[in-house]
Structure formats: structure tokens, C-alpha cells
Structure 1
Amino acid sequence: MKKRDLILTLVSLILLFVCVYFADAYLDSYKVRILNLCAIYVILALSMNLVNGFTGLFSLGHAGFMAVGAYTTALLTMPPLVKAQNFFMAPLIKPLDSITLPFLPALLIAGVLSALVGFLIGAPALRLKGDYLAIATLGFAEIIRVIFTNTQSLTNGALGLKGIPVTTNLWWSFGIAVITVILIGSLINSSFGRALKAIREDEIAAESMGINIFRHKVLSFTIGAFFAGIGGGLLGNLLGTVDPLMFRFFLTFNILLIIILGGMGSITGSIISAFIITIAGEALRFLDESITIGSLYIPGIPGLRMVVFSALLMVVVLFFRQGIMGTNEFTWDKLFNRLQKKPAAGGGNN
């Protein structure tokens, strides 16, 4: 990286955390919650884009990895008394009933455990391709959800977990989002990342160049599961409660929507799209409620928000077939080139 680019990146990060400080200090809890969700969806979108966008796989199992991360972080951070209150039907297995860890170690353990589950799922499933892989990963995610629903002494079953310490704040979510962007960006720009892109473009050609297709796919899938577990842990400790119904296919669909809108294979696109979709989804909530304009009364229609939101997304996808960014990334050179570009002189053909 050029010295100029490094300085500008550091200045941008400082400005970001200055904004985080003022947001944390002066915004109300609702707006802070939305910003936290934006940052968490950045992490989840990047983890899924690594698998679906950069490696060219079609995985739909992200909700399962998020569930593993959310439950693991919750169980490791909840005090023993709160655990006893939750597990009144069947006691929590030992030694989890008496273990309480700080948030960061619990989050890392959740990520590692999610990565392990991702490896165990990916090893057999990644021998499939295309729609077959999508169906297999979707099935595994549903299996995880059903297991969590029926393991009363480990996850409290369908009742879920309540009273989880609300540890996630803007510093945690944006800090980990920045770290995720840096790590995945470095990974994509390494020789490993170039091998993933080669697999995405043409598996046969990549294999003929000596790339171990299966090993790279499994590693990509495992790393994606790790960050999905981290995102799930942040989400659980933001909401203060988790239950198996939170981790249905609809959650995976939301993340898939973010990476498609932002651009499959674009880190910048995933970041932009995560903020757009999260904020727009909340901004349109007034459509579900009754509206009074002068003497005109318009009754609320439940679900109208999602209808309008889906229509807007369809329009965007029609005009941006490859997403907002396609496979492009933001760079300082591109920004300066665009700013320094002089307008063409009139009176002639360009």
C-alpha cells in the first residue's frame, strides 16, 4: 500500500470512530440499535460473500452457523443464576451451568466452534456443486435449528435463552466489522484469494494450474462460518434473547440479498448494501401504520413495507445487473482519478 493511501485509510478510520463516539453519546437507543445491526450485517455479508461471491459456491447455510455462534456466546457470558432461571424444565449440562467468560473470549470460542461445524458440514457437502450444494447446505442449517429446538438441556429448546448480557455496543460491532473488512480484504488480495477467484471463474483451469480445489473450498467455507459465528454472537448479545425461530432460512435470504445488491465478489458493495438495506427496511416502517394527511386518513396495511421495499430492490437489480459495485472495489486512486477528471470540451464528439 502506498504511503498516501495508508495515511488516508488511517485518517478515515479515526473519523469513523469519532462518528461512533458521537453516535454512542448523542443518538437515542433506537438509532444506535439500527447502527449496530448495520455493522453486524456487514460482518455477515462479508462472511457469506467470501463463500458465494469470491469462491463461486452457492451456500445457503449461514443461519445455522449464526445460531451456533449466538448460542455459544450467550451460554458462555450468562451468569449462573440467569442460566438457572432459563433452564427450569431441564438443568443445563455441566460444566456450562457454572462457566461465565468475558465477552471477547466467548465470541472467539463461538467463532471457532462455528468454524468447526462449518468444516464438518463442508467436508462432505462441498463435493456437490450448484443447486445441489445449495440444497445440502440449506438442509444442514435446518438440521442445526431442529437440533437446537430439541436439546432442552443444552439450548433450552424452543423456549430459547433470555436475560443474555447486552454487551454488544457500537464499539464492539464497528470495531469487529473493521477488523473483518481488513482480514477478508487481506485474504482476498493474497495468493489464497487469487486461487479462490480462479476457482470461481473456471474450476478445470484452476485445477490444471495446480490449485487444490477441494482444500480451498473447504477453507473458504470454514473461514466464512467463523465470521458468521462471530456475527451471530454479536447479534445475540445485542438483542438479549435468542431462540431457534430466529435462525430460519429468511435470515440467510436477507444476507444473500445484501451481497447480491452490493455485488457478488465486492467487499465495498457488501458494506454499502448492508447499510442501505438495514436502514431502508426501518425507514419504510411507516407504511405498515395508519397515516393522517390533513383530513385524509389512510389505514395501515400490514406487510406493505416489505412489498414496497421488494419493489424498490427489483428496480435496483434491473438497472444494476451486477449489483451496486459489481466486482469492483473502492480505492483511493479511483477516487482521485474521478475528482481530477476534467469535463470534456464542448463542440465536438466525445
Structure 2
Amino acid sequence: MMKMEKKLSARTNFILTVVFLIFMALLLYLADRYMDSYKLRVVRLIAIYGIMAVSLNLINGITGIFSLGHAGFILIGAYTASLLTLSPEQKAMSFIIEPIVPWLANAHTDFFTATVAGGVLAAVFAFLIGWPVLRLSGDYLAIASLGFAEVIRIIALNAISITNGPLGLKGIPEYSNIWWCYGWLFVTVLFMASLVNSSYGRALKAIREDRIAAEAMGINVFKHQLLSFVIGAFFAGVSGSLYAHWLTTIDPRTTTLGPMLTFYVLIMIVLGGLGSISGSLIGAALFAILFEWLRDLEEPFTFFGIHVPGIKGMRILVISAIFILVMIFWQRGIMGREELTWNNLYRWLFARRRGGEEK
């Protein structure tokens, strides 16, 4: 006899979601009010990393495109939004080597408009790059997209009258407060969840599983991949704007916004589970916390009475070791391709309770 699958009603799901959102808003309010500035910066960074991870997961995990150019889109969003939020006086003071181009000198707008503009410009570049690059596949696509990210960084270093070259941008307003960060994270997750659960999302998953079979079923593979690439780039640009206004400075010579950032985000989505939005958020939170908590390893410390000198880059080494262990022993990541939904939680709790009763 078949056992009926336990499932919550749509109304119950809606009520639980509303209660959860109210609870999260209360936690964010308490964090904003009572946390010290350092812990609050980490909490905001979790949301920014979350947007980066979810946007890359749409491309790599859900669509199956092996892209390594995400840092390029983040950099475009960061520069675009920063140049639009800096006042004309700040730009005049910052551009020392060469004066800023006239059409950017007096361009100034609010943070929301600047963030959307950063996302839109990143999406435009994704379309221009994706049109030729997405005709490749596998390793060739990965190398081409990685090359794009490096090209963007080199342009940022040399387009002095637009980006201020190697001097970067300083004095960027710290607009990325807890509400902006988590507000954009909510919009990103809501959009991605709606997309993945739509017919378009099912087509993306079909392409991921078997490109040839998907094409045989009438799915325009190139069109779907390109749109996925553009959407992921838009939210990467948004995260770049938030990241720049969290850092308050952009230096193209460092790895903060360089191609290495792509590998950081890749670690997040692999730890959480490729193809899982919930996993991306969990992976982003774990990475942000570990990245800050392990900072002490780069300073001199005492371990069981033994003095250990600080080793620069040690935290990256530890995180990389964890990543390798996950790849060897737990390839599916924390969530695999599963999502943390109310129905899944209910089934898990029901299964545990039923298992206890049977014992």
C-alpha cells in the first residue's frame, strides 16, 4: 500500500514564510542596534557574498555553464555604482594622474539608481561577451570567461581618465548598511527561486543534465544559456555595488575585486551545493565567517605553549584545505541540489518522528 506524501498547504507555507521574514527583520534590527561595528560588517558581508553566490549558482549550478568570469561583472558593478555615488568634488580630488572624462565628472545619483545601473551595465557586458563565448563549452568556456575577467581588471588599471587607474577610487560612501544588503539579498533569492521553479528554470536544469537531449526536446539551448548568463551578471553587478560601498575603496591592484574573487565565490557554491539556492546562502555565510575568524592565523599566536609566528595567507590555505576535503569526501556539498523549504523540513521532522515511534 502506498503511503501518502506529507505536504503542507499553500496557506501554511505562506504564513510560515511571513513569520520567518518578520523574525529575520527583528534579528536584523537587533543586530543593527546592538552589535559592534566589526561584527556588523561581517553580518553585512554575509549578505553581499550571498548575492554573489546565488548569482553564480544560477550560471554554474543550475544552468551548467562553467564560467570563471564572475569577478569581471562584480568589478563592473562596483566601478559603475561608485563613480555615480561619488560627488563631483570627490572625483576632482581623486583623479590626480589624469582628469576624469567630462561626461562622468558631474554624473551623480542616489545609491539605489547607481546599484541598478551597475547591474544593468554588467548585464550588457555579459550579453556582449556571452554571445561569442557561450558557443564554446567545458574547459574552453571556463578559460575564455576567466580571460574576460582579467581583461576587465587590466582595463580598470589603464583607463585612468575613467577608473583612476592604479590609484583606484577612495572615499566611497558607506551606503551598504544592513537593510540595503539584506533587502537586495531578499530580492535576489525571491527572483532566483521564482525563476528556478518556472518553466524557464526547468529548461535550464534540462540543459544542465543533457544539452543534446534538451535541444532535441525543442529547447533553444543558446538563448536560455545567454539569458541565464545575463541575469547572473546583473545580480553580480548589484553585489559589486554593495561590495564597493561596504569596502569604501576600490584598488584594482589587489585581489579584493580581482579574478581570485571568482574562486572565492566558487568555493561558496561548491560547499553549499551546486544547484541549490539554500546551499549557496549557507556556503556564503560559512565562507564569510571562516574568512574573518581565521584572520587570527595570520598574526602571531600561542598554541599549547608553542609560539607560532603569523603566516600571511594562512586563512586561505585552511579554507582551501577544507574545500579539498569536501571535494574528496562530500562532493555534493551541504545541500546537494536540495532546497531548504517548509515542505522538506516538515517531511524530515515527520520522518524522524515516525522512525522514533517505530522503534
Is TM more than 0.5 here? yes
Q: Aligned equivalents of 2:358 and 2:121: distance in 1?
A: 65
Deviation at 1:74? 0.3
Match of 1:312 in 2: 322
Q: Deviations over 1:64-84 (max 9, x none)?
A: 111110000000000111000
Match of 1:193 in 2: 201
Tell which deviates more after alignment, 213-222 or 90-99.
Answer: 90-99
Query: Match of 2:104, as an amino acid?
Result: L
Tell which deviates more after alignment, 87-96 or 190-199.
Answer: 87-96
Q: 2:59 aligns with which of 27, 51, 60?
A: 51
Q: CA, structure 1 residues 219+347, in 2 after alignment: closer, same or farther (shift >3 Å)? A: closer
**Structure 1 runs not aligned, ≥5 long:** none
Match of 2:309 in 1: 299
- Residue pairs, 1:131-170, within 5 angstroms: 131-170=139-178
Q: 1:334 aligns with which of 344, 348, 353?
A: 344
Deviation at 1:298? 3.4
Q: Aligned equivalents of 2:69 and 2:332: distance in 1?
A: 23
Q: Deviations over 1:302-340 (max 9, x none)?
A: 333333332233333333211111111111112122223
Tell which deviates more after alignment, 152-161 or 304-313.
Answer: 304-313
Q: Aligned equivalents of 2:268 and 2:306: distance in 1?
A: 36
Match of 1:211 in 2: 219
Deviation at 1:296? 4.9
Q: Aligned equivalents of 2:160 and 2:295: distance in 1?
A: 36
Match of 2:191 in 1: 183
Match of 2:118 in 1: 110
Query: Match of 2:91, as an amino acid?
Result: K
Match of 2:103 in 1: 95
Tell which deviates more after alignment, 185-194 or 282-291.
Answer: 282-291
Deviation at 1:243? 2.2
Match of 1:262 in 2: 272
Q: 1:284 aligns with which of 280, 294, 312?
A: 294
**Pair 1:236 & 2:244 matched:** yes
Match of 1:14 in 2: 22
Q: CA, structure 1 residues 109+303, in 2 after alignment: closer, same or farther (shift >3 Å)? A: closer
Query: Match of 1:223, as an amino acid?
Result: I
Identity %: 51
SS of structure 1 residue aligned to 2:307: strand
SS of structure 2 residue aligned to 1:90: coil
Query: Match of 1:211, as an amino acid?
Result: I
Deviation at 1:287? 1.9
SS of structure 2 residue aligned to 1:138: helix
Q: Aligned equivalents of 2:186 and 2:357: distance in 1?
A: 44
Match of 1:23 in 2: 31
**Structure 2 runs not aligned, ≥5 long:** 1-8
Query: Match of 1:269, as an amino acid?
Result: G
Deviation at 1:343? 5.5
Q: Aligned equivalents of 1:300 and 1:200: distance in 2?
A: 44
Q: Aligned equivalents of 1:292 and 1:307: distance in 2?
A: 19
- State whether residues 122 and 234 of structure 2, in contact with CA within 8 Å, keep that contact through their aligned partners in structure 1: yes
Tell which deviates more after alignment, 36-45 or 241-250.
Answer: 241-250
SS of structure 2 residue aligned to 1:95: helix
Relative to the length of structure 2, the TM-score reads 0.93
Q: CA, structure 1 residues 41+293, in 2 after alignment: closer, same or farther (shift >3 Å)? A: closer
- State whether residues 267 and 323 of structure 2, in contact with CA within 8 Å, keep that contact through their aligned partners in structure 1: no
Tell which deviates more after alignment, 248-257 or 125-134.
Answer: 248-257
Q: Aligned equivalents of 1:290 and 1:345: distance in 2?
A: 49
Query: Match of 2:338, as an amino acid?
Result: N
SS of structure 2 residue aligned to 1:297: strand
Q: Aligned equivalents of 1:168 and 1:347: distance in 2?
A: 52
Query: Match of 1:100, as an amino acid?
Result: H
Tell which deviates more after alignment, 258-267 or 302-311.
Answer: 302-311
Q: Deviations over 1:44-94 (max 9, x none)?
A: 111111111111111011111111100000000001110001112211112
The Cα RMSD (Å) is: 1.7
Q: Aligned equivalents of 2:71 and 2:202: distance in 1?
A: 27
- State whether residues 130 and 226 of structure 2, in contact with CA within 8 Å, keep that contact through their aligned partners in structure 1: yes
Q: Aligned equivalents of 2:328 and 2:292: distance in 1?
A: 23
Match of 1:275 in 2: 285
Query: Match of 1:320, as an amino acid?
Result: W
Tell which deviates more after alignment, 237-246 or 170-179.
Answer: 237-246
Query: Match of 2:173, as an amino acid?
Result: P
Query: Match of 2:187, as an amino acid?
Result: I
Aligned residue pairs total 348
Q: Aligned equivalents of 2:122 and 2:303: distance in 1?
A: 50
